[in-house]
Amino acid sequence: MTSQLPDSQLRKLQRLVASARLPERPLRSQPEEGVGACLGSYTLHRPLGPRTWEATHEKHVGRLVVRLLAKDPPPDRLQRAVSDLKSIARITSPIIVANQRVSRAGSIHFLTREFIPGPNLIEWKGPPRTGLFAFYQLARALQSAHDRGVAHGDLTPHNIIIDDAGRPFITDVGLRRIGRNLAGQTQGHPDPAIDAADLGTLFLTLVTGKVPAEILRSSVPAALPPIDPKVDPLIRNLASKLLVANPPPTVRDLADAAGVICQKLPNTETSKIELLQRFEKKSGEQKG
């Protein structure tokens, strides 16, 4: 695979993936459905998945996501969970949506995080070109997490969200491990190699538009759509390495390869050099 991109190329990539303006997440908009239940000071609205709801808080404006955890975990397990959350929150990538806190209502513990509008990859049907840029950003964000010693451990289409501007977001980092530890099902740290394998499957999803289940069930490789003669051979090469490379590519390998592909895409808007850096700085200040 390719080596790590030098800083000059990374800056060029930042120009390529920067949108025309900083994305504004509609935190002040209202939930889409009516009241379902109350959990302490939180009101649960639309279900988003197993044990997960869109929610609001009685004292704070904005939409949140609430995810239930174990009932009455022992204090030592809860302390480990809080420590894990703090480690994840130190990752400054704007692509990674960290859980904000562990809260409690009665005997029920739950996590809260910011609500990100947009479909997850199960529902997303964007063009391959947008998918390539999204994949590059996902890979760089995971690389940043791995550099911090944090692996996702459960990277699926359900926890990748693509907003209207085509910007991807990663949710539920480390959540499976935290939930199992709270429930007493102690396991080791998630393996970065598993993240890389899952990310490779998501690459095929983002480029072909097929969901991972369909890709994995098929006895023949997913057909790669033509995007541009300059990048089509690079995409085919990356897809083949995902399937047969030994040793398999790391997340850094995938990010670097995707960076080379994105740089070679013609007719890409390269103005607004500082937009992505501003967005990253803004996100870091909010987390600090």
Give the residue with greater pLDDT, 65 vs 191.
65
Assess whether pLDDT exceeds 90 at residue 195.
yes
Same domain, 89 and 216: no
Same domain, 110 and 122: no
Q: Is 242 domain-assigned?
A: yes
Same domain, 138 and 268: yes
Domain interval for residue 56:
37-114
Q: Give the whole-number percent of the chain exceeding pLDDT 70.
A: 77
Query: What digits encode the pLDDT tens for the residues 120-136?
Result: 888 888 888 889 889 98
Q: Is 236 domain-assigned?
A: yes
Q: Is 235 exposed, middle or buried (0-12, 13-18, 19+ CB in 10 A)?
A: buried
Greatest mean pLDDT range, 23-37, 43-57, 255-269: 43-57
Task: Phi first, then psi: give them for residue 54, nearest 5 degrees.
Answer: -75, 140
Residues in CB range of 219: below 8 A, 6 or more apart: none
Question: Does residue 49 sit in helix, strand or coil?
Answer: strand
Same domain, 94 and 189: no
pTM for this model (two decimals): 0.77
> What mean pLDDT is predicted for residues 30-51?
71
Give the residue with greater pLDDT, 44 vs 69.
44
Question: CATH number of the domain that 85 lies in?
Answer: 3.30.200.20
Whole-angstrom distance, CA of residue 58 vs CA of residue 70:
24
C-beta separation of 45 from 31 below 8 A: yes
Same domain, 109 and 126: no
Q: Is 261 domain-assigned?
A: yes
Work out the mean pLDDT of the chain and round it to a whole number: 76
Assess whether pLDDT exceeds 70 at residue 92.
yes
Alpha helices (H) along 148-191:
175-182
Same domain, 135 and 89: no
Residues in CB range of 273: below 8 A, 6 or more apart: 11, 14, 15, 18
Same domain, 102 and 137: no
Greatest mean pLDDT range, 9-18, 21-30, 170-179, 217-226: 170-179
Same domain, 151 and 269: yes
> What mean pLDDT is predicted for residues 98-102?
75
Whole-angstrom distance, CA of residue 154 vs CA of residue 147:
18
Same domain, 157 and 208: yes
Beta strands (DSSP E) in 124-167 are 160-162
Q: What is the pLDDT of residue 250?
A: 93
Q: Is 162 domain-assigned?
A: yes
Same domain, 257 and 128: yes
Same domain, 214 and 96: no
Q: Is 207 domain-assigned?
A: yes
C-beta separation of 64 from 31 below 8 A: no
Handedness of CA 278, 164, 151, 177 (dihedral sign): positive
- Structural domains of the chain, count: 2
Same domain, 108 and 142: no
Query: What digits encode the pLDDT tens for the residues 130-166?
Result: 898 899 889 989 998 998 888 898 898 888 999 888 8
Assess whether pLDDT exceeds 60 at residue 80.
yes
From its phi and psi, is residue 184 left (phi > 0), alpha (psi between -120 and 50) or beta?
Answer: left
Q: What is the pLDDT of residue 12?
A: 53
